[in-house]
Structure 1
């Protein structure tokens, strides 16, 4: 039976789910901003790492790999990933962090090799031990997001921008949704893919919020001397203080790995966080920073246990959660969308993914 599905949020989560269920169901994407992907999707550092997000997220990331490496023809057929590699570093005199990291992913099948970090990162200050993970890759985020939206549109989904949800009422087994532009949408299923606004959307629908908290993450683009080599991997601090990666033209993208609690909305980088990021990097490498060319911030929204929230609300009929993806929503989008579609009765759960880990009822 064809259902009317309204998805609140047209970022990566909402777009990928729409691409999975449109065609089987009648789908409308409701985006509060003037264009989709404004707050989180469009501000991503754009890499796919099987370990990023921890062991609870890893099955979703790994299950997304085949699609991202070789998408089916209906998504363009061209890979969304480009080889990069990731190097986690720790002081050579204190390798305990690398030992603990390896132990967390024991049995995952992810390739990890100990290396002298100087062999992959020129200009290191002091002695650093590295843990090399070759599967890490760059993601073409804009093309991936666009491919999901295009696929959904070809299957009949409708995207409505500047359409903030302001009221949601369940009447006689269906939803009546009132929008900020004055429009009204009728739906059988309401999908909460609202990112930082997920708890607010839940409250509008009469559901109990699960405690999804947005956090601000700072990014800067630097021009450095010498220029960053194109072969530089994603360099991750085992202590969680920073990571950086190369960009075209010898530039570097750098973050202090900050997570500052924030209200849902537009966020900007603060000078103190930019300065902190540069200071941390310069304690590790001897590159001279010639210019801060760009600075920005995005929102990462986490549930209390830092795992995604996927599934039917346990108390409110017809409300489905697709939220809480934190900083790994892009790299897990293909598997996350397939899982959500399966829980909605469209398709099967991806192999090696335990749907029970992500259900909203785990919050009681």
Structure 2
């Protein structure tokens, strides 16, 4: 195989994980717009591993990643990347109960619980009006920082280069490959450009003369509040099946989200005070936590393709442009398998699992090349 020079745009979990795989047999340079890596989506992740979360391709990629998380955790000096947490899903109306019942039937690890059993797992939960509860013991916390740092270090160890403060400003298509220029005037040339820019994915595609994939950046708010009653660190993450709230213990406090998905422009998003107030109201309504004040809050970006599955592969009209975007809110939990699948598609254009390849293929979505 010819050893190509690959320019990756984006230093979140997508860029560093794929870059570490490609650096085995390619010359990789990764350009990150910010002054440090993983600032936006990766650095603001809820850090949960849930095999039943997301559309079918995401669930399959997450399930396959479990063994790779275990393998990486066994490496010297690597902490355990997955820690026990457990996931307690609740349904409060008939449509929610039907959806949760179907999920329990489809997920072998999940079991139905009585209200008393749910209360035993999380004594702060008010269960008088709960219609159905389901528990998934395979839900775990992810050490996002350790995972991201491992991939960045591996990329460098394999000869790759990471450049921060390098915001892509212009590209020129060469006879073979690309000439790219950053906002500060620096330039690089490469055979293939990998678009791993997350919420900025369609903007990067536009700089390459491509209409992109209809990516939609969505704001997700996270709040940490100290409750009036003690919180046990062993409580599971508790969520509404309709995804209108979730909460979990966090260092003696409560981390929670209203499950918002407000469409926003790419950028350094901030939480909307209305969403902060909303999650306090919702969690207080279903618990005895008596949350009143906010210790801290933040917002992150979750960027989806129209069908909410990842977008991976070369463009049909532009083989020197490779997409690795649209990872939504699932990028960290499926990173180990998606990076390997992305590298295989980059090298060969195919996957042994044809159904999975079709589900994540870049050309499944409308895209228009202008050059």
Q: TM-score, normalised by structure 2?
A: 0.92
Q: Structure 2: how far apart are the matches of 1:342 and 1:286?
A: 50
Q: Which residue is 1:360 aligned to?
A: 362
How many Å apart are 1:44 and its aligned residue?
0.7
C-alpha contact 2:104 2:112 (8 A) present in aligned 1: no
- Check if 1:189 corresponds to 2:192: yes
Q: Which residue is 1:32 aligned to?
A: 33
Q: Which residue is 2:5 aligned to?
A: 4
Q: Structure 1: how far apart are the matches of 2:230 and 2:351?
A: 44
- Change in CA separation of 1:131 and 1:350 when aligned onto 2, cut-off 3 Å: farther
Query: What does residue range 258-273 of structure 1 map to in structure 2 within 5 Å?
Result: 258-273=260-275
Which is worse superposed, 139-148 or 283-292? Answer: 283-292
Q: Structure 2: how far apart are the matches of 1:38 and 1:298?
A: 9
Alignment gaps of 5+ in structure 1: none
Q: Decide which of 246, 249, 274 is 1:246's aligned counterpart.
A: 249
Q: Structure 1: how far apart are the matches of 2:133 and 2:263?
A: 31
How many Å apart are 1:317 and its aligned residue?
2.5
Residues 20-75 of structure 1 show CA distances to partners (whole Å, capped at 9, x for unaligned) of 11131000000000001111100011110011213231001111111113317668
Q: Which residue is 2:369 aligned to?
A: none
Q: Which residue is 2:99 aligned to?
A: 100
C-alpha contact 1:214 1:300 (8 A) present in aligned 2: yes
Q: Which residue is 1:158 aligned to?
A: 161
Q: Which residue is 1:313 aligned to?
A: 315
Query: What does residue range 214-225 of structure 1 map to in structure 2 within 5 Å?
Result: 214-225=217-228
How many Å apart are 1:288 and its aligned residue?
1.6
- Check if 1:131 corresponds to 2:129: no
Q: Decide which of 196, 199, 203 is 2:202's aligned counterpart.
A: 199
- Change in CA separation of 1:350 and 1:12 when aligned onto 2, cut-off 3 Å: farther
How large is the RMSD of aligned CA atoms in angstroms?
2.0
Which is worse superposed, 53-62 or 300-309? Answer: 53-62
Q: Structure 2: how far apart are the matches of 1:87 and 1:350?
A: 35
Q: TM-score, normalised by structure 1?
A: 0.94
C-alpha contact 2:72 2:78 (8 A) present in aligned 1: yes
C-alpha contact 1:335 1:350 (8 A) present in aligned 2: no
- Change in CA separation of 1:55 and 1:104 when aligned onto 2, cut-off 3 Å: farther
Which is worse superposed, 318-327 or 127-136? Answer: 127-136
Q: Which residue is 2:288 aligned to?
A: 286
Residues 183-229 of structure 1 show CA distances to partners (whole Å, capped at 9, x for unaligned) of 11110110000000000100111122111011111000111121221
Aligned residues: 360
Q: Which residue is 2:109 aligned to?
A: 111
